[in-house]
Structure 1
């Protein structure tokens, strides 16, 4: 639900790399030509289904291009433009069908999206082939029908391998009703924050479990001590590194912030906690706006969340005595 652009970029990048390695392995290690197993197709389809149409389309264009430049396969002409069109369509259409239609968020939608992408890609293959054939009659040796027949084992492999891989990666592929309900709860929590009904809200099992209204770090510490943060999505008005460390200690699965500091963003990402925010700022300032927040200053040199919590409690006590 809170998959970040960073995660999508990393996932797509890794799969593009796999798209460069697989053809080499199948060809050199096992002696099976790429035209039979179509190994480059698998990562591209996974990118589209897992990360959406933008990343899928880019992955489909970039993978064969990089492969041609680095390994000489596919040949620059005529196969590179054909494969870029075909694989680009695979990634784009698979992402569009699964992420932008009624199939959205449904595991059962993976197969229809996969089949739709495979058919669309082959159609584009035929269109580009026809254009190149019209421009160059020497391409008689190539045949769209022959390519499809030769690649039947690869098509079977795609149908068997791609869906479970997408499910394992699990980037946003969940039951559609659960996804919609989770999004609805998130929107409701965001509205509560904006209307100042609450400053920190805990969403768990697709319902708002707790909503606290308080200043600074105190609501987060209270929710931690109430043992209600584990596996929860926390929606907060302001999340700095101090809050991020307490939320990490509470084992949250995701954090949405109206405002998040760069230090909090970096810390949560290091802990592999999903994040989203409306704006990201350099630092969280104090209430007077003339310096850094004392809670942020207190944890500046701390990496251990347990140590951070104790330091924050001591800082709160000191601030109360000074008030």
Structure 2
């Protein structure tokens, strides 16, 4: 399969994953903020796709999910665009420099959460909301710890296996 076909195929699969997994987690209970299912597809994108494709997925996935399922709601959908785009693009760029390392993933996760905090501050100023830094940090780091651990412990090796399968064909 040529690179364009591969990128289109993976993008479609990861977009579907980014729509279906969050929906399933919300159907089973409000577990999205705990297990971060939309992030799973973006981490895999960061490991498997070029940065531009990651940016497109980071923009399309939360907005399409918002339109199709009602989740994430406004204004969280736009904060997710910021967070997921930074996650995917920064991981793809770091992967080009460092390979598929967990350290690169952790750094990309920190960058994406810093971008989300910055986006939340800007949105709070624009919409007249109170900006509660500790509340936001608690939400995106403490409440999401199970999802963060899943991403760090499972996804790098999963992406390497996918890469090996692709190279074998």
TM-score relative to the length of structure 1: 0.48
Residue 9 (structure 1) aligns with: 8
Provide the alpha-carbon RMSD of the alignment.
2.3
- CA distance in structure 1 between the aligned counterparts of 2:55 and 2:43, rounded to whole angstroms: 10
Is 2:82 the partner of 1:82?
Answer: no
Is 2:13 the partner of 1:22?
Answer: no
- Structure 1 position 139, deviation (Å): 4.5
Bigger radius of gyration among the two:
1
| CA deviation vs aligned residue, 1:263-286 (integer Å, no higher than 9, x gap) | xxxxxxxxxx6xxxxxxxxxxxxx
Gaps in structure 2 of 5+ consecutive residues: none
- CA distance in structure 2 between the aligned counterparts of 1:74 and 1:139, rounded to whole angstroms: 20
Helix, strand or coil at the partner of 1:31: coil
- Structure 1 position 172, deviation (Å): 9.7
Is 2:147 the partner of 1:154?
Answer: yes
1:52–1:95 contact (8 Å) kept in structure 2: yes
- CA distance in structure 1 between the aligned counterparts of 2:2 and 2:162, rounded to whole angstroms: 12
- CA distance in structure 2 between the aligned counterparts of 1:171 and 1:41, rounded to whole angstroms: 22
More strand by share: 1
More helix by share: 2
- Structure 1 position 33, deviation (Å): 2.1
Change (3 A) 1:3 1:159: farther
Find runs of 4+ consecutive structure 1 residues off by over 6 angstroms: 171-174
1:51–1:171 contact (8 Å) kept in structure 2: no
- CA distance in structure 2 between the aligned counterparts of 1:171 and 1:5, rounded to whole angstroms: 18
- CA distance in structure 2 between the aligned counterparts of 1:33 and 1:121, rounded to whole angstroms: 20
Larger RCO (CA under 8 A, 6+ residues apart): 2
TM-score relative to the length of structure 2: 0.89
- CA distance in structure 2 between the aligned counterparts of 1:4 and 1:112, rounded to whole angstroms: 26
Residue 110 (structure 1) aligns with: 101
Is 2:72 the partner of 1:71?
Answer: no
1:3–1:172 contact (8 Å) kept in structure 2: no
| CA deviation vs aligned residue, 1:239-282 (integer Å, no higher than 9, x gap) | xxxxxxxxxxxxxx7xxxxxxxxxxxxxxxxxxx6xxxxxxxxx
